[in-house]
Structures are given as C-alpha cells and as structure tokens.
Structure 1
Amino acid sequence: MSLSLNTFQTTNSRVDVTYKLTGQPEPVQLSGVVVRPGTPFNNGTIVITTHTLPHSTKGIVLAIDIQALKELELVHFEAKYSVDLTEQRMLANGFQSWSQAREMDQNDKIPSIRSSIAWYTQYNLQGDYDFFPHSGEKGQIHSSSYTHFRDIHNVLRFFGSISESLGYTYFKSDYNNNILSVYKDVFGKTIAPNQTLELIRIFIGESNQEGALWDMYGAFFEDKRCLKGNTAQRHVNGWTSWYNYYGDVSEEIVFENVDALVKHKYPINVFQIDDGFQTAIGDWLSINKKFPSGMKSVASKIKGAGFMAGLWLAPYAVGFNSNVAKKHPDWLIQDPITKKPVVAGPNWGGFYALDMYHPQAREYLREVFHVVLEDWGFDMVKLDFLFAAAMIPRLGKSRGEIMWDAMEQIRELVGPDKLILGCGVPLAAAWRKVDYCRIGSDVSPWWEDTKLKLLHVRERVSTANSLVSTLSRWAMSDRMFGNDPDVMILRNKKNKLKPSERYTLCVLNNILGALVFSSDNVGDYGKDEHLLYAATFPKVVAHVESVIEFRPEMFLVHFTVANKGGEPRHYTTISNMTGESQTCYLPPSDDETHLYFATNDSMHMTKPDKREPLFYHPSSRFTLEEHETKTFLHIPPPSPENNGKVTLMGSTSHIVPGAEVELLDLAPDGSVQIKFRKENQRQRKVYICLGNQYFATRAAPSACKVNGVMVPVEIHPISGNGEGRTETEVAVAVVEA
C-alpha cells in the first residue's frame, strides 16, 4: 500500500503493546494485535481503538486510543503499517536540538554510540540512545516527533505527532520489509481504571509545498510565545560570548565587545552573555568575581548601547559541586533503584538534574527568573540543557510527558512578555512555547569532527553537522519558533574554517535562521572581516519556499525576499557540502527568471575574484568547490511592463543581493532614485538596468543619472549557454555609495 491519505483511513494497525498490572511481577506482552478502524480490540484489561478524522483536503488525523479496564503501567507501544517505501527519502529528525536531522533512504542507517564510548564520554546522556533502540541496520531509519517522505517528484507525505504531551513519538521505517511504525515511548506511564488515553494523534498531510504542511501542522499547537504568529520582527541578529570566550567571559570582555559593536556601528538586536557569569551550574544568583559590578549593571550597559540584554541559564542542570547540590539534595531527581541523584551529563565535571516537581525547587527557579528578568533587567533568557528535566520516567509519567510539563513550566515562570531562546531540548516540547530555539548542534571553528562522526555521535560539535540540521529543519522557523542555527564565525583569529566555509555558514544561517549570532570581537576585525560581517545587515527576512538535497550533500534553496512595496524578489542558493568540487546546473528560466546574478565568498571583499562571472544564463553549468555556496538573484524577463521602470540586476553589498536596498524607483524626470537601509553601513555597489535594456550593444548609453549624479554603465559577459543561448553581454548602471 502507498503512503497516501486513503491508506491510513482504511488500513488496519498491527499493534505491539506491553504493560504491567498492579500486583503482578511479570508484564503482559501482546504482539501483532490487529486493530481495525471502528472495531476495538478488547482483552478484558485494555481496549485499543483506531480511527481517522478529516482535517482538510490535504490532511487527516490518525488516532489510536487506549482504555485501561484495570490499573496498569505501560511499558511498550508500537503500531505497524504495511506501506510501499520504494524510492522514498525519509526525514530522520534527531531527538533534541543538537541531534542531527537529515533525509535518508534505504541505503542509510542510524547506529547507536558503542557502549564503551558511552561509558567513557557520557555523550549518550545528551540523546535518546539509552531508551530508544538504534538498530544500526541498513534501511532501518527512525525520526523523532515528525517526519516526511519525499518521492522522486518532490511530493511530500508528512507525519507529525500532536500528542507529544503523553510521550515521545517515533516514526520507524523498515525499508527492507516495507513497514512504517509509530512507536510511543510510554515506559512508566500509568493509567487508572476506566481512564482513556488519546495516546496517538498524528497529522498526516500531502503536498509538494513543505511550508504549507508546516502551516497546517503548527496550527495544532497553542501559541504561547512572546512574539506570536509569523512576524518579521522575529528576525534579529546578535552577539553571544560563548564561541569566542567560552567559560572565560568576564565583565571586562562584555564591555569591550559592547563598545566595539557601537564604535563600528553594527546595529545588532540582542547581546547575550553565555555560561561563565555564575560561580557554579545551578547557583544562578551567585555571581562570579569576574563580574564585579553585578549583573544589573552589566545589563544596563548592554541596554544603554541600544541592544536587548540576554543571559544564559541551564535551569534543570545542577553541578556536582554547586551549593544547590550540597544544601538541597532533595531537589535533585533520584534514581529509584540506586537512590542516588540522576547524572544528566558530563559537562562542567558532571551535573545532576533538578526535580521540576519539587515545590521548593520550583520556587527557587521562580526566584531566579524574577531576579534575572525583573531585578537585573534582562530581556531574554537562553535556556540550555533542557533535556535534563526528563532523564527518567517517574511519578506515573513518561519521559516525554515530563519534558512537556517542563517546557510548560518554563513559559509560566518566565512569563508572557520576555523572550526565551531554547536549547538542548526535544523540539516538539518547545514548539510555540519558546520564541527562538536552537535547531542544530553547536558550530565549531573547524568543519567536521571526523572522530565523533565515526563514533556515531549525532550531537557532535561540528559546523558541517550543524548546517545539515539547519538545512533539514528550516520549515519550523517562524511557524513553531524562530530558528537559531547557531553562530557564524567570520574572524581570522582562532578559526580553522576556510573562507568558503565561513561564507557558507554565514549565508545559510542568515537565510534559514531567524536569530543569527556572532561571537567575534569586531574590534579585532581586519577590513575584509568588516566587509563580510557588514554585508549581513540588515538581517534578511527570507520566505523559504523549498530546500532540496538534489544529490548527496548538495543542497538547493529557493526563497523570496519582499521589497518595500511587498513585491517578492526571487533567489536560489546552492551549497556544496561535499569534500570535492561539483558541477552544477542552474534552474531553468521561468516567469520570474531570465538571467541570474551570482554571489561568491570573495565578492564582498577588498579584492573580489574578477574571474568569477556575475551573470549567468538559466540552465547553465557552473562549478562549486568543496564547501562553497553561491546565491543567485533571479532577474525577470524583459517585458512591456518594464518600460518606465528600473530593475535591480545585482549587488555586492549584501549576502542576499538587494536586501540592503530600501527604495529603487524612477523619478518624474526619468532619473533613478535609490535609498539604502540604514542598517547597512558598508561600502555599497549595486547594478541596475533601465527599462528593457538588458542585453548590451556597443551603442548602449555610457551613463545613467542616479540620485542626481551621473553613474557609469558597464558591459558584463553573461556566462553559460544554457537553453541554447549564445554568448551575450548585459549593460548595467553601477551605483557605488
């Protein structure tokens, strides 16, 4: 059977369920129970029913309910469906923010971390390796909370859980046997007699528009964000201390970087202090002596510069040597077998998990947030290592249920008027509760950690690892929260990334992210570093239409950016994530595309590579070197409507050509008026064309009046012979400001 909506409206579920009855030591295990739509399964202890609900012409909701006739505790639940997975690529969404997400197929596998490595590194604690089986078998793929299947025509079948409040949901594909399973992590969940759980609720949709599917899916989740809805205000840039100073951040460093940003007129929105201001993890109100003026004074300095002030916390983490751990051991989650505190991770020498249900621990967090947000005056909190709240099931609740409660608690404690940046969190629990959320691993000042990649650590710190998740989770942004793809690292100091890799990180994060940080000290920048960083202002607000991996590790991004009048400019970004050069072909011409203007990593610099073509014919061939990215502005076809208008042909002063232009129009006297966005303060170069004078002749006008000043017209070759076009040239007026 196919993955169509009709299949799931009529097909049977084959259910495996295991549960424990009160007073009986051995669990009851049922395998392959056939549950037909509208016909309940009843064995005198549990009743299982399945049905579907219409949602729209492009979607349904698949429902599976469990009723307990006696008190019981669930151990395992999985519903299986026979489907045809041939030539389908499955989105494998990792467990939490840092866990890799990417599309996979029948030739891929997801191994677990080896037990010896897990014992030595404790990296397993950051993921789901200890409670969800990773088969490591070829053709067996799983995805957390949601997935999609992409066929060869780029039609998507989307599956998204809307019952994560009862437990983590996994979608499992066995390509070898054409089986799709819905697995629910129910371990530890108790059900009272005659209680019915709406255990499985899955939105299933079908479309070739991924964004439209996420629009429908997002509507199932209550919007509790400070910034509600899909708003351009959510798109901001900022500075964070972590990726340059790490735990060595100090008041002196903070003030130095604030002053440098002001001096060089970088209009960032958020300035965030990361880990290092506190004396110990968990002792959030005990301030390190590196901040002698106190955090209220530091926040005032930041806000006085015109920035929002952000502060990092890990509310559910408690360091081994913290005062909280020493004085309040009852606030820590206890292992029910060993009666010792549960270890949540190896960071900072090891940390425990705070018990969010303990009344005094909860009041401590309430005090922390009140002091940070009201007394000190911070505008945003970055809340990290949130997965620690749900390390084990307890109190009759599953892990996922506890995680859901933890994120509900966070929003309630922070309040409705302050911004939250979530991190290290299973994403579904954060949807529409936090304003921003990390959607990839930490980036690094190097491309890849090959050792941890070979050890199957999906949460590894790695620029390549982070970017793959950024490219795979793009559709969450704005709909569920603003995506935080992590920082861009543009500096020369303490950075092993090549120029092309820095540019790729910069471009993809800005296009696909809503919150884009840097940690560079701009006071240390040379001229080229300044030019590239300045080319990211203003923060581009991209409406992403699609992201497609058109061959292994080669990605094509289609997006639009609205001009001041609301009219969209069309763009295509192509990224080579492979380790070798790749031959690529531009998309064909269409109603919006007659030519392409191309960017590259050197064009924003003092010495651009003049061998690189600026203009291309559609369908033309070009080369991307390893880890290189190019963004192409679509130049519309000549038409009668263009007469009396001015067309943007390209620019070198923004990573998304034209995003720095506020106004481009013709004055009544026929001259051009151009106005730039105030956020863009760098040297500018913009190419324009009057009317339909796209293709040059040597009789083309030699100058054009812009803002009352005559500017030169240049003749540029158009590269490529796509669609059978011959060698031609284009005449563009060049505006420099």
Structure 2
Amino acid sequence: MKEHIITAHHTWTLPLDHYDILLNGYQSWSDADLRPLSDTQTAPILEALIKQGYDIQFPPTGQAGVWRSHHLIALVTEKGAYIGFALSAKTSVACWEARIEQNAVTVTLKVDGTPEEVVFEWTDQPIQRIEDLSRQFAQNMQAPVWNPVRVWCSWYSYYRNITERDFIENARIARELDLPFDYFQLDDGYQNDLGDWLEKRPTFQGDVAGIPAQMERLGFKAGLWMAPFIASPTSQLFQNHPEWFLRDTQGQLVIAGDNWDNDYYALDLSQQEVLDWLEDLARTFRSFGYSYFKLDFLFAGALPGVRQNGLSRTEAYRKGMEAFKKGAGDAFLLGCGAPLAQSVGLVDAMRIGPDVTPFWDDYARRRWVKDGSHPSLKGTLQTCLSRFYQHHWYMPDPDVMIARQKLSLLSDQERESLLRLVQVTGGLLASSDPLMLLEQKDIDLLRTSLEFHPRDLPATLNERFGLAPTHYRTVTFNLTEELQDGIAPHASRKAEGRGPRAEGMALHGIG
C-alpha cells in the first residue's frame, strides 16, 4: 500500500493486527509515545490542561483503542509499519486518528485548515522511512541549517525570583570555571507583567537593557525568555489594547491559560497592528544586544478563535512568528510550548518535550489529573526519545541537563540517563543549575553534558523498555520500574565499544 494524495479528510482500513502506535503530540509538551494500540489514550480531566498541553481542537479521546496523533502516525508490527505523514504544515494542522473496530483498524486523517499533501504507506523499514519523510517535510518547510549551541538559563535555579545580581554571578562563575556556554539566557521574572516586557519588575533589581553588555564583558552572548503571544488582564498592553486579543464566536476573550495564578489572554495574530507591535518588540530587544530568544507558550497564537481575513489558526500563528523573526533579525530563536510542525522554518530550535524536573515522576498528577504533559524526567525521556525524527525540522531541545546533587531528588543513574538523552538527541545543550551549588563531581558531569555529540537513532521499534523507542544504536534506556536485561529501573546502558553514532550529518541540520 502506498498513497500520496492532497486531501482534507480521508480514511484507510487496515487488517487487524497487534499494532504498537508511534504518535506525536501537537506541541512541545504534548505526549509522544510508542505503546500498544489497544491501550487507552489518557485525556486530562481539566480543560485548561488540554488547552495548555494538547490541541484543544483535536484532544485525546480517553477511549481504549482510539488514539490521536498530529502530523505523523505509525502503526508498527513485527514485520514493518503503516505510516501516515503530512508533507507540509504552512496553513493547516494534520490530525490522525487510529481506531480499533470489530474486524479492522481504521486510520482517519482530518485536516484543520486547507487540504494537505500527505503520504500513507506500508514499509518494512519504518525507522528509515520516517527519517526520509521527515527530511522531505523539512525541505518543503525550508528548515534552517544549524549547529548546536550551549546555553545557561536562569529558570530552574531561580524561577521567577531571579535578580540581575544572581544572573551576573552565575555568568561570572561560569567564566571562572571555563564552562563553554555560548549564551546566558535570562528567563521569566524580569518583566513587570505578562505582555509588559519592557517594564522592569521591581524585585528584579536591575537593568534588562544593560545585561547584554555585561555578558559580553564576560565572554558570553545574552539571551532572553519571552511569551510574546499572551498577556495578563492586569497588563498595560491589555488595558491599552483590549481589541488586540483573540475572541471566540460569541465575542468572548479567549483564555489561553492561568500559569501565573491568573488568566491570560491570547493575542489575535491576524491583526496588522499586533504584528507591527511584535516586530517592534523584537527589534527593541535586539537593539539592546540580545541575540537569543526563547519564545514560550506559543500555542496561544494558534488557539481557536475568530480571525480577520478568514485566516486559519496556522496561518495566523505563522504570521505572528514571521513578524517577531523579522524584528529579531539574525537572532537565534528557540520555540517552546509551540505547535511543532507549524513552526518549522521559523525557529532555529524547538523544545521537544515537557519541562525536565529534579525528580523522576509526578505520579499523582499523572494518575489523578490524567495529564501526560506534566513536567518530569520520565516524561522528558519518553517524549524526546519518541521524537527522534524531528532532528531534521530544527535543532531539538530536550531541555536542560540537571547536574547538581543539591536541591535534587535524582539518583546518579537518573542523571546519567538524562545525560545520555542529551547525547543521543544531538541538539541544543543547556544547563540551569545554580553554579555556586555544584560540587566537583557535578561540574564534571555538567562539562560532559556540554560536549557535542552526533545524534543517534533507534535500532528498533519492536523492542522497548517503557512507552518509547528505548533501544537506540548506542544506548538502551530503561523507563520502567523493573530490572530489564540487567539495566536497573530509570537507568541506561551504553552499547559496548560504541559512542554516539553520526547519522545524517547530525551537526549540520538537514544537510
């Protein structure tokens, strides 16, 4: 079977078999797994979690034997796999559903937006075929050529309590230790309110505009976190321009989430005035000397709503990204909490999993709230290992290495598994440890995590220790709670005599 069609809706009927499904969630934090098709796809019980971690237009079903995936779907057997793959994402979102029926399995494609060019086919070489289709998609989307960068960010050290003094002190220590960071990135906590990015938060106690010059004197470039597509109702931006914000069919403001103990709203990226504001905002910070931007909570720009000129949510989202990119000029852009496929060609790097944490799992949130997108080391490993093919789309960001022993519940084996994830991913290298708390053992581990490695690929999709492709060519991960082939729970093992393997010119993007 092989079909190459342009369509907005199509259904294929497959013979019953014992399928595993490789699925890809819509945005950075959404689930990505490899698991039995007969299992149940978990659906969060709170709509706010679906909106912030999934695709509210095409959410998980919560039904046994019914699975939803975005852009890619693969139904894997011992002999090969059926693969569905969209070859573009400039105007639409490709949504796949696999459903076990009485005598067959149906796979349905629903395109949210204009019809898309898609491939659906059988292959006896699923990993290689997914790689080939991913490379073709990246070329269609004009994905950038890239080389990995090394970043320290303030978030997991200080969260919103960051001050200029703390930020500069970590950069000073990094220079004393000769740690090879390229960028020092200031995260959330400097701004007075969501949307008021140029207004300093009093507790920051510093000058955001002057930080790049201080970084330059220490031998680093300056980076900045921002969530440019959202704003708080208490912000001056919202107070001055309530008409700039997205509304639903009843004329009500679209609430994008409530991460800061308050609702926040989504900007309407179909409005030219909003696009002009985004371009000016990026240009202003670029003029201060910031050459790296982490753009977070980007999913808000593609939430359902009524937009001007009949633009689809994908078209409006990409216009917003294009406006910021234009203002930022040659700055490096990292997307996070972002529609994955729809961002290709507009970002240099992309977070490909949930936030990493200094503990293995948040069982209570996963069990009782049924949220698979929650921050955890287990979730980071599972999701990032399941997105191996996205290396062609952008520089993959598996989030930060946690090297510290203080303020951490991670075992040495769990930290080693995180290190090996960073190595097999072959993308962005990052840290957020408070550098003054690191012992020599931690510093050595951090330094090792900042060494570039070519990315690796799964050796098989038919054997796994957990709900992801865990058997890579150079490393085997155990994501379970049981001993597996001599590998302890949460641990990993390198293949004898093998380091990370070069694959597809890994250090040079899609070339």
| TM-score, with length taken from structure 2 | 0.90
* Equivalent residue number for residue 457 of structure 1: 371
* Equivalent residue number for residue 581 of structure 1: 483
Identify if the C-alpha distance between structure 1 residues 169 and 403 changes in structure 2 by more than 3 Å, giving closer, same or farther.
same
Aligned-partner residue type, residue 538 of structure 1: E
**Superposed displacement of residue 271, structure 1:** 1.6
State how far apart, in whole Å, the 2-side matches of 1:355 and 1:445 are. 36
Taking only aligned residues, the RMSD between alpha carbons, in angstroms, comes to: 2.5
* Equivalent residue number for residue 378 of structure 1: 290
Aligned with residue 497 of structure 2, among 634, 642, 647: 634
* Equivalent residue number for residue 218 of structure 1: 135
1:120-199 equivalences in 2 (<5 Å): 122-128=48-54, 130-132=56-58, 134-153=60-79, 155-177=80-102, 178-186=104-112, 199=115
1:521-670 equivalences in 2 (<5 Å): 521-544=434-457, 546=459, 548=461, 550-553=463-466, 556-559=470-473, 572-582=474-484, 584=485, 623-634=486-497
Identify if the C-alpha distance between structure 1 residues 410 and 658 changes in structure 2 by more than 3 Å, giving closer, same or farther.
closer
Identify if the C-alpha distance between structure 1 residues 265 and 209 changes in structure 2 by more than 3 Å, giving closer, same or farther.
farther
Aligned with residue 503 of structure 1, among 393, 397, 416: 416
What secondary structure is seen at the aligned counterpart in 1 of 2:497? strand
Q: Kindly indicate whether the alpha-carbon contact (under 8 Å) linking 1:260 and 1:521 is maintained by their aligned counterparts in 2.
A: no
* Equivalent residue number for residue 203 of structure 1: 119
Higher relative contact order, chain-length normalized (CA < 8 Å, sep 6+):
2
Deviations 1:29-57 (A, max 9, x none): xxxxxxxxxxxxxxxxxxxxxxxxxxxxx
* Equivalent residue number for residue 30 of structure 2: 99
Identify if the C-alpha distance between structure 1 residues 304 and 510 changes in structure 2 by more than 3 Å, giving closer, same or farther.
farther
Q: Kindly indicate whether the alpha-carbon contact (under 8 Å) linking 2:385 and 2:470 is maintained by their aligned counterparts in 1.
A: no
Identify if the C-alpha distance between structure 1 residues 128 and 160 changes in structure 2 by more than 3 Å, giving closer, same or farther.
same
State how far apart, in whole Å, the 1-side matches of 2:321 and 2:118 are. 21
Deviations 1:10-38 (A, max 9, x none): xxxxxxxxxxxxxxxxxxxxxxxxxxxxx
State how far apart, in whole Å, the 2-side matches of 1:257 and 1:453 are. 34
State how far apart, in whole Å, the 1-side matches of 2:381 and 2:318 are. 27
Q: Kindly indicate whether the alpha-carbon contact (under 8 Å) linking 1:236 and 1:515 is maintained by their aligned counterparts in 2.
A: yes
**Superposed displacement of residue 290, structure 1:** 4.4
* Equivalent residue number for residue 467 of structure 1: 381
1:325-474 equivalences in 2 (<5 Å): 325-337=238-250, 339-348=251-260, 349-373=262-286, 375-395=287-307, 396-415=310-329, 417-454=330-367, 455-474=369-388
Aligned with residue 15 of structure 2, among 76, 80, 84: 84
State how far apart, in whole Å, the 2-side matches of 1:657 and 1:221 are. 23
Identify if the C-alpha distance between structure 1 residues 130 and 530 changes in structure 2 by more than 3 Å, giving closer, same or farther.
closer
**Superposed displacement of residue 278, structure 1:** 0.8
State how far apart, in whole Å, the 1-side matches of 2:55 and 2:342 are. 19
**Superposed displacement of residue 412, structure 1:** 3.5
Q: Kindly indicate whether the alpha-carbon contact (under 8 Å) linking 1:490 and 1:502 is maintained by their aligned counterparts in 2.
A: yes
Q: Kindly indicate whether the alpha-carbon contact (under 8 Å) linking 1:185 and 1:399 is maintained by their aligned counterparts in 2.
A: no
* Equivalent residue number for residue 42 of structure 2: 111
State how far apart, in whole Å, the 2-side matches of 1:215 and 1:509 are. 23
| TM-score, with length taken from structure 1 | 0.63
Comparing 143-152 and 301-310, the one that deviates more: 301-310
Identify if the C-alpha distance between structure 1 residues 406 and 108 changes in structure 2 by more than 3 Å, giving closer, same or farther.
farther
**Superposed displacement of residue 146, structure 1:** 1.1
Aligned-partner residue type, residue 207 of structure 2: G
What secondary structure is seen at the aligned counterpart in 1 of 2:457? strand
Aligned-partner residue type, residue 470 of structure 1: C
Q: Kindly indicate whether the alpha-carbon contact (under 8 Å) linking 1:274 and 1:311 is maintained by their aligned counterparts in 2.
A: yes
What secondary structure is seen at the aligned counterpart in 2 of 1:261? helix
1:228 aligns with 2:154: no
* Equivalent residue number for residue 40 of structure 1: none
State how far apart, in whole Å, the 1-side matches of 2:88 and 2:451 are. 39
Comparing 344-353 and 162-171, the one that deviates more: 162-171
State how far apart, in whole Å, the 2-side matches of 1:183 and 1:82 are. 12
**Superposed displacement of residue 164, structure 1:** 3.0
Identify if the C-alpha distance between structure 1 residues 407 and 104 changes in structure 2 by more than 3 Å, giving closer, same or farther.
farther
Higher helix share: 2
What secondary structure is seen at the aligned counterpart in 2 of 1:164? coil
Q: Kindly indicate whether the alpha-carbon contact (under 8 Å) linking 1:407 and 1:429 is maintained by their aligned counterparts in 2.
A: no
Aligned-partner residue type, residue 170 of structure 1: C
Deviations 1:447-482 (A, max 9, x none): 1111221222122111111110110001111x1001
Deviations 1:254-294 (A, max 9, x none): 11100111111111222211111111111111122345552
State how far apart, in whole Å, the 2-side matches of 1:146 and 1:308 are. 36
Structure 1: gaps spanning 5 or more residues: 9-60, 65-76, 190-196, 560-571, 585-622, 636-655, 660-737
Aligned with residue 213 of structure 2, among 300, 312, 321: 300
Q: Kindly indicate whether the alpha-carbon contact (under 8 Å) linking 2:77 and 2:462 is maintained by their aligned counterparts in 1.
A: no
Identify if the C-alpha distance between structure 1 residues 392 and 376 changes in structure 2 by more than 3 Å, giving closer, same or farther.
same
- From the CA coordinates, give the structure whose radius of gyration is larger: 1
Aligned-partner residue type, residue 463 of structure 1: L
Percent of residue pairs identical:
27
State how far apart, in whole Å, the 2-side matches of 1:166 and 1:658 are. 36
Deviations 1:653-675 (A, max 9, x none): xxx5899xxxxxxxxxxxxxxxx
Deviations 1:473-510 (A, max 9, x none): 01111x10011011121212221112211111121123
* Equivalent residue number for residue 6 of structure 2: 63
**Superposed displacement of residue 299, structure 1:** 1.2
